[in-house]
C-alpha cells in the first residue's frame, strides 16, 4: 500500500495511492496523524473522494512528526570516502518538523551558505510506539518507508564538532512522495541521486551498516519512538563535499533521489 499527503485549500489530507489516482482517507491531516490514530487498516479499504495525482501538490508525507532522527556515516562506501572507520554505534542527530518540505517543492539556497550539498536517503516511518525493543519488535513497528534528501550546508556543519547547525535548516529536507508499506520495498533496491541528470550516488540500500530495525531498536533505548516519527537512515558515497574539488548545488539545478519500489523526490534549487 502507498499513502500520500496532499495539500488542499491551505490544509492537507491523506490519500491511498493507486496508480495516478489518490483515494481520500477522510479524517486525517497527514500520514503521521493517520498512524497516531491507528488508521492503516482503514486506509487500506477507504473509498473516499478520488483525486487525480498527475501534477498534484504533495506535501511531505509526514508533516507533523514528533521526532525527526537522522543517522550519519551509515553506508560503508560513504564512511570510506570520508576517510573514517566503520562505527561501533550509530551517529545520531536531529531535525525539526519545519525542516521538511514536499517531494517536489523548491530547495531554497540560503544566502548564508555557498556549500549546499545533497544526501539521498531511505527514511523509515514509525507505526507503533516503541521503547527498549529488540530488532524483531522494531521491525514490526515500521509502518513503511519513504525517500528523503538530507540537504546539508557543509560550511555550517563543520563550524563545530556538532553537525546540527548544518543539518536542521528550515524548509530544507524533501520527504516523499509516498509512504510505502514494508512489503513494497524490493530486495536489492538501489538509491540513486542525480544532479541535473548526472548520476552522483548509486548504492543498494542494504549497504547500510545499521539497518532500519537495528536503528529503531537502538534509538528506542534512548527515548520512545511514536507513530509518525521519522528516521533518516544515512546517505551513501557520492556526496559533493567529498569530491575534489567539492561540488555543491547551484541555483537552477535539479536534484532527484530515487529508490526502487519507494519513489522519487525531485526538487529545483532556487536562490533565496
Name the CATH topology of 60-271.
Fumarylacetoacetate hydrolase; domain 2 (3.90.850)
Task: Report pLDDT for 173.
Answer: 98
Helix or strand or coil: residue 212?
helix
Burial annotation 182-202 (CB, 10 A radius, 16+ → b, else e): eebbeeebbbbbbbeeeebbb
Helix, strand, or coil here: 145?
strand
* pLDDT value of residue 263: 97
pLDDT exceeds cutoff 90 at 186? no
Q: What is the rounded CA–CA span in Å between residue 175 and residue 209?
A: 22
Q: Which pLDDT score, from 0 to 100, does residue 85 have? A: 83
Q: What is the DSSP string of 34-47?
A: HHHTT-HHHHHH--
Q: What pLDDT score does 82 carry?
A: 74
Please check whether residue 263 is in contact with residue 144, taking contact to mean a CB–CB distance below 8 angstroms.
no
CA torsion, ordered 254, 175, 158, 255, to nearest 10 deg: -10
- 114-139: average pLDDT: 98
Is the four-CA dihedral 1, 148, 187, 54 of positive or negative sign? Answer: positive
Q: What is the tens place of the pLDDT at every residue in 4-38? A: 999 999 999 999 999 999 999 999 999 999 999 99
Say whether pLDDT at 218 is over 90.
yes
Write out pLDDT tens, residues 200-212. Answer: 999 999 999 999 9
Q: Where are the domains of the chain?
A: 60-271
Question: Residue 214: what pLDDT?
Answer: 98
pLDDT score of 67: 98
| pLDDT band at residue 83 under the 50/70/90 scheme | confident
The residue assigned the cell 559533493 is: 240
Contact call for residues 174 and 60 (beta carbons, < 8 A): yes
Res 81 pLDDT > 80: no
- What local confidence, expressed as pLDDT, does residue 80 receive? 79
Coil, helix or strand at residue 202: strand
**What's the pLDDT score for residue 119?**
98
Amino acid at each position: 500500500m502507498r499513502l500520500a499527503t496532499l495539500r488542499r485549500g491551505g490544509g492537507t489530507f491523506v490519500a491511498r495511492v493507486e496508480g495516478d489516482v489518490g483515494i481520500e482517507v477522510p479524517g486525517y491531516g497527514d500520514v503521521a496523524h493517520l498512524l497516531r490514530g491507528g488508521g492503516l487498516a482503514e486506509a487500506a479499504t477507504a473509498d473516499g473522494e478520488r483525486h487525480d495525482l498527475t501534477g498534484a501538490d504533495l506535501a511531505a508525507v509526514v508533516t507533523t512528526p514528533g521526532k525527526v532522527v537522522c543517522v550519519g556515516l551509515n553506508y560503508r562506501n560513504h564512511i570510506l570516502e570520508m576517510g573514517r572507520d566503520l562505527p561501533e554505534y550509530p551517529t545520531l542527530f536531529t531535525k525539526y518538523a519545519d525542516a521538511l518540505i514536499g517531494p517536489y517543492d523548491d530547495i531554497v539556497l540560503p544566502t548564508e551558505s555557498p556549500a549546499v550539498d545533497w544526501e539521498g536517503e531511505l527514511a523509515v516511518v514509525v507505526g507503533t510506539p516503541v521503547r527498549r525493543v529488540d530488532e524483531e519488535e522494531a521491525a514490526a513497528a515500521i509502518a513503511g518507508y519513504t525517500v528523503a534528501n538530507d540537504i546539508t550546508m557543509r560550511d555550517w556543519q563543520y563550524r563545530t564538532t556538532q553537525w546540527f547547525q548544518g543539518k536542521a535548516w528550515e524548509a530544507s529536507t524533501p520527504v516523499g512522495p509516498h509512504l510505502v508499506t514494508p512489503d513494497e520495498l524490493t530486495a536489492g533496491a538501489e538509491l540513486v541521486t542525480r544532479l541535473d541528470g548526472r548520476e552522483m550516488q548509486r548504492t543498494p540500500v542494504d549497504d547500510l551498516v545499521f539497518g532500519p530495525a537495528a536503528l529503531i531498536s537502538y534509538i528506542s533505548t534512548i527515548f520512545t519512538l511514536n507513530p509518525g516519527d521519522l528516521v533518516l537512515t544515512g546517505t551513501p558515497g557520492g556526496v559533493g563535499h567529498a569530491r575534489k574539488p567539492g561540488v555543491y548545488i547551484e541555483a537552477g539545478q535539479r536534484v532527484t533521489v530515487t529508490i526502487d519500489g519507494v519513489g522519487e523526490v525531485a526538487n529545483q534549487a532556487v536562490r533565496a
